[in-house]
A and B are shown apart, each in its own frame.
Chain A
Amino acid sequence: MARFLTVRIGLLLVSLVGASLLVFTVLAVLPGSPAQVILGTQATPASVRQLTIQLGLDKPLWQQYLQWVGGLASARLGSSYISHQPIGAQLVQALQVTGPLVLLSLVVGVVVAVPAGMVGALRHGRLAGTVIGVLSQIGVAIPTFVGGIVLIILVAVKAHLLPSGGFPGWAEPGQSLRSLVLPAITLGLVEGAILTRYIRTAVMEVLASDYLRTARAKGLSLGKAMRRHGLRNVLPPIVTVLGLEFAGLIIGAIVVENVFTLPGIGTLLLSAVQNRDLIVVEDIVMLVSGVVMLVNLLVDLSYRFLDPRMVRRT
C-alpha cells in the first residue's frame, strides 16, 4: 500500500509539472507581447518596454516559469495583468458560486441516478427498465448548454418560476439558492444520466453473479441478498464513476456558469481568455486541472479501499 501511494503521488506530481509546462509553453509562444495587448495599439514602444520589465516578461522563459510555479505552490497567485486585482481574492469570490453549484449538482445527479440505475437493472427488459434505458441514452446526448437553454425557456421565460440567470451574491441565501436551482438541475441531470447507465450495468452484473444466486438459493430475499452480498460489489465501480463525475461536474460548471451568467470560476476563466489576461488563464487552468487530477487519485485510492481484491492483485 505504501509503495502504491508513493507511486501514485509521484505520478500526480509528474502530471502536474507536465501540465504546467504544457500550459506555460502554449501561452509563452503566443505571438505578440502581453504588454502590447494590455496597453493597446496606441501605446508607445517605451511604455510597452517598461511594462514588459514590470511584469517580469523580459526574463528568460525558465525564470518566468519557475517564478510562476513557485507562486502557485506558495499560494501567491499574483495579480491580473488587466484589472490589477489580486487573483487569489477573485478566485475566492468565484469559488463561492462554483463550489455550491458543483455540490448541488452532485446531489441532484446522485438522487436521480441511484434509484434510476437500480430500477433500470431490476426491471431490465420490462417497461420501467426500457424507459430508463432510453431516457438515460437521451440524457447522455444532451449537451449541458442545450439542456440549460431548454430549461430557461420552460421554467424562466414561459412559467416565470425561477430566474433565468445571474447571481445576487450570498447576502440573501434564499435568493442565491433560487438562482442556483436551474443550473444545478441542468448539470446534475446530464451527469446523472451517465451515472445511471453505470449504476445499471454494475447492478445487472451483480444480479447475474453466482454468489447472488447462491445467496438466494439458501433462502435470502432479494433485498437481503443485495444488502449482504450485492452492495459491496456494486460500490467500487460506482465510486469510480462518482469521482469521474465530480471531475466532470467541475468542468461542466465552466459551461453551465456561462449559460446562466453566474460569476464563478468558469466565467472568470472565459473573460480572462477574451481579455487575454494570460496570468489569470494560467492560474485557473492549473488550479482546475490540479483539482481534477487530485480527485482522480482519491478515486483510485478509495477503489482499493473498497475492493480488497485490488490490493492482492498488485
Chain B
Amino acid sequence: MSVQTTDPTPVPVPPPSVVVVTAQASLFRRWLHSPSAVAGAVVVGVVVAAAVVSLFWTPYPPLAVHPSDALRGASAAHLLGTDQYGRDVLSRVMSGARISLYAGVVSVLVAAVVGVPAGLVAAQRGGVAQQAVLRLADILYGFPALLAAITLSAALGASTTTAMLAIGIAYIPVFTRVTRSNALVVLGSEYVLAARSYGRRPFAILRRHVLPNIAPTIVIQMTLLFSLAILAEAGLGYLGLGTPPPAASWGNMLQEAQNYLGQDPVLSIWPGAAIFLTVLGFSLLGEGLNDMLDPRVRR
C-alpha cells in the first residue's frame, strides 16, 4: 500500500514521487492487460454516455405517446421499436440509464457517508463504541435488503427516493466493516504512532493519515456495490416499488413489457439487456480494479 502524506512535519516520508509515477504507469498497463476490466470499462462508458446524452437529446421525447404506432418492432424510425403506448423504446432505455446511474450513485453515497465515518469511529475509539457500532452493523446486515426496501415503500410509498434510501441503508454495514478493518491496520502503523507522539488529535489523524490510505479500498467497494445497487433498483422498479410510471426506469419498463410477452417478446429484451450489461460492466470494472490494487492478488 502506498502511503500518501502531505504532512510538513518530519514524519518518515515513504517512496519518492518518481517511484509513484512508475507505479501508476504499471497500474495502467496492468489494467490494459486485463480483458475483463477493459470490457467492463467500455460497457460502463457506453452506459454513462447514453445517460449524459439523454439529458439534452433523445431520438423522441421518452414520454411522448403515439397510440397508432404501438408495439411496432425495430425500424429505421424507431431503432428498438415502440412500446404499448407507441413510445420510442430507445429513448426510454436512454433515459432509464440516467435513473439507474442516479439511483446507483445516490444509494452508494448514502451508504458510504454513514458507513465510513461509523467504521472510522469504531476503529479509532475501540471499546464500547466499537462494540456498539459492530453489533448495530450486524443487525442491519442480517436484515435482508429487499425486505427493508419493501417495508420502507409500504411506509413512504413507492418512489425513486424510497428505493435509493432503502438500498443505501442496506449497504451501510458493508462500508462500516471494510472501513474499520482497514483503518485498524493504518492506526497500528508507526507513522500514526509518530503523529500521535507529537500531539496530533485523533480527528486529524483520521483525516490526514487514515482516510487517504483507505480511500482506494473504499472506492473499489463503491464500484462493486454500485453494480448491486443498480440491480436492486431495477428489481424494486420491476416489483412496482421503485420509480413509478410513466417515467422510464429499466425496472418498470420490464414490468410493463412483461404484459406483452405474447405480442412483442423483444420489448422485454431491451430493458432486460440494459440491466444485465450495466451490472456486468460495473462488476467487471470493480473486480478489475480490485485485482489491480490488491497486492495479494498480484501474480
Contact = CB atoms under 8 A, between A and B. Distances in A.
B28 to A, nearest CB: 23
A150 B267 CA distance: 11
A198 B257 CA distance: 34
Interface string B127-167: 00000000100110011101100111111100000000000
Given A26-B151, A142-B276, A143-B235, A149 B143 contact: no
A258 B254 CA distance: 12
Contacts of B154: 27, 30, 272-273, 276, 278, 281
A143 B150 contact: no
A15 B138 contact: yes
Interface residues of A, number: 46
8 nearest CB pairs, A to B: A141-B280, A146-B272, A18-B139, A153-B265, A273-B154, A30-B155, A141-B279, A15-B139
A137 B261 contact: no
| Most chain A beta-carbon contacts within 10 A, residue among B150, B280, B283 | B150
B258 interface: yes
Contact of A152 (B147, B261, B280, B283): B261
B262 interface: yes
A142 B143 CA distance: 23
Given A150-B272, A269-B150, 12 more contacts: A22-B151, A30-B154, A137-B284, A143-B231, A145-B235, A146-B275, A149-B261, A153-B265, A251-B146, A258-B238, A259-B258, A273-B150
Interface string A107-124: 000000000000000000
B261 A251 contact: no
Interface in B240-256: 240-241, 254
B272 A274 contact: no
Nearest to A247: B144
Interface residues of B, number: 38
Nearest to A266: B239
A132 to B, nearest CB: 15
Given A143-B231, A143-B234, A149-B254, A255 B239 contact: yes
A261 B279 CA distance: 25
A251 B144 CA distance: 8
Interface stretch (A74-82, A201-209, A227-235, A285-293): A285-293
Contacts, number: 110
B142 A258 contact: no
B147 A258 contact: no
B213 interface: no
B124 interface: no
A272 B97 CA distance: 30
B107 interface: no
- For chain B, what secondary structure do more than half of its interface residues adopt (helix, strand, loop), or is it mixed? helix
Interface in A16-42: 18-19, 22-23, 26-27, 29-30
11 contacts: A30-B156, A137-B280, A141-B280, A143-B231, A145-B235, A149-B254, A258-B239, A281-B150, A285-B147, A289-B142, A289-B147
Contacts of A14: 135, 139
A53 interface: no
Contacts of B147: 251, 285, 288-289
B99 to A, nearest CB: 16
B155 A145 contact: no
Contacts of A158: 265
Interface in B242-299: 254, 258, 261-262, 265, 268-269, 272, 275-276, 279-280, 283-284
A146 B150 contact: no
B275 A288 contact: no
Contact of B153 (A140, A153, A254, A273): A273
Contacts of B269: 150, 153
